Amino acid sequence: MKLLSLQKAAGYWDIDSKLLSVFGKTENELIQKRPAQVDNAVWVTIVALIWLHSFKKPEQEEWKFIAIKATSWSRSRKATEYQQQKHLVGKLSECIQAGKALLESEVKEENLGL
């Protein structure tokens, strides 16, 4: 799966034309849906997790460790942001809802492990 090869070593994804093609979205669509004051890497990583859980569930054995790494990175960002600025903690649910809307997904928030 192309998405797996685009993940950074730390566990997050960046906006990239190859990633956008996986999602079937333009950069403009992705940026317009991003909640205010949310880092692009956090936003794209959440969208990637939603995409995996929504559209690649049958292949979960192939991507579950990649998702664990992304979830761990997201949690570490959440802890860091909470200590420094306290704005990301309340934004994760907003990001998940926006990501679900972007991808037209019905995945449940609790399934993402965030």
- For 39-51, what is the mean pLDDT? 92
The two tokens of residue 85 are 């600025």
pLDDT for 113 equals 77
Inform me whether the pLDDT recorded for 57 exceeds 60: yes
| Poorest-pLDDT segment among 23-37, 62-76, 81-95 | 81-95
Domain ranges of the chain: 2-7+14-112
Q: Which two tokens stand for residue 94?
A: 């907003």
Instruction: Say what the pLDDT of residue 79 is.
Output: 47
24 to 31, 99, 102: CA distances (angstroms): 14, 13, 10
